[in-house]
């Protein structure tokens, strides 16, 4: 199932996997039928992802591949070279979606957006977007961009209220993707999630991921376990009632943000 912008609603997150663990994880995901793979320059695993894809036997055109340009590479001098390096590591001619990983320094902002658009114009990226952009930054980026920005990848789970960001993104034609959709495990212990899980007879992970995709947000869980990956794929077998959606949305008012690196993070909404 895909979003309005053509992004598969369920992907395979690869952070913090590297080496054989990453290769095995991507191979497992592809073998199970997942076709959306998410990586980044900062993850230091693009080569591992590329090797797993090449070995899988899955046609390149059947895989939705995402990578992200690191903040240190957003300057005009480094952007295109870093993208070429990413493509070489991934052993592909293009990525399906290229994102700016963290907001650029103010002086690099416009050139970074220009370089992102140039990557799509040149065919090195089929689509483009951003990551960790706040409402003001999304607006600024969308205004600067000469091509549509289709995605903003952000921390998104039932412990963090991102409703305003999602609503503004929708106005801009941007779909959100959820990294850390299970809050690094904290979501699985939340009372609201556990209550719905027990009542519906579904694992807490499925409840949380279903809440995400039912809002039209892409979910990017990471797992190295086959049974967990299979469970993640079962989120399209059921729907949450309006009451259960509201219960989890209320839980998100806790605003427990887990990822906010010093020096990179913007002033959050």
Q: What is the DSSP string of the chain?
A: -B-TTS-BSB-EE-TT--HHHHHHHHHHHHHHT--EEE--GGGT-HHHHHHHHHHH---GGG-EEEEEE-GGG-STTTHHHHHHHHHHHHT-S-BSEEEESSPPPGGGHHHHHHHHHHHHHTTSBSSEEEES--HHHHHHHHHH-SS-EEEEEEE-STTS--HHHHHHHHHTT-EEEEESTTGGGGGGG-HHHHHHHHHHT--HHHHHHHHHHTTT-EE----S-HHHHHHHHGGGG----HHHHHHHHHHGGG-------TTT-----
43 tagged catalytic: yes
Catalytic residue among 43, 64, 94, 179: 43
Q: What is the set of active-site residues?
A: 43
């Amino acid at each position: 199932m895909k979003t309005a912008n053509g992004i598969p609603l369920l992907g395979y997150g690869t952070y913090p996997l590297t080496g054989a663990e990453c290769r095995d994880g991507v191979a497992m995901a592809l073998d199970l039928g997942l076709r959306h793979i998410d990586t980044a320059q900062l993850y230091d695993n693009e080569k591992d992802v590329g090797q797993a894809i090449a070995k899988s036997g899955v046609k390149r055109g059947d895989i939705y591949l995402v990578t992200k340009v690191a903040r240190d590479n957003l300057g005009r001098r480094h952007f295109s070279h870093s993208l070429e390096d990413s493509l070489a590591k991934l052993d592909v001619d293009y990525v399906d979606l290229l994102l700016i990983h963290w907001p650029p320094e103010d002086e690099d902002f416009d050139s970074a957006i220009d370089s992102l658009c140039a990557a799509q114009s040149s065919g090195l990226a089929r689509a483009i977007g951003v990551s960790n952009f706040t409402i003001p930054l999304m607006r600024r980026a969308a205004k600067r961009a000469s091509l549509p920005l289709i995605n903003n990848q952000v921390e998104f789970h039932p412990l963090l209220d991102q409703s305003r960001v999602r609503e503004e993104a929708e106005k801009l034609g941007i779909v959100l993707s959820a990294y850390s959709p299970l809050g690094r495990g904290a979501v699985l212990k939340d009372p609201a999630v556990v209550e719905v899980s027990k009542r519906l007879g579904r694992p807490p992970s499925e409840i949380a991921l279903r809440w995400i995709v039912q809002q039209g947000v892409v979910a990017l869980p990471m797992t190295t376990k086959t049974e967990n990956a299979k469970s993640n794929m079962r989120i399209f077998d059921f729907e949450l009632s309006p009451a259960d959606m509201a219960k989890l949305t209320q839980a998100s008012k806790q605003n427990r943000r887990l990822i906010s690196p010093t020096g990179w993070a913007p002033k959050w909404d």
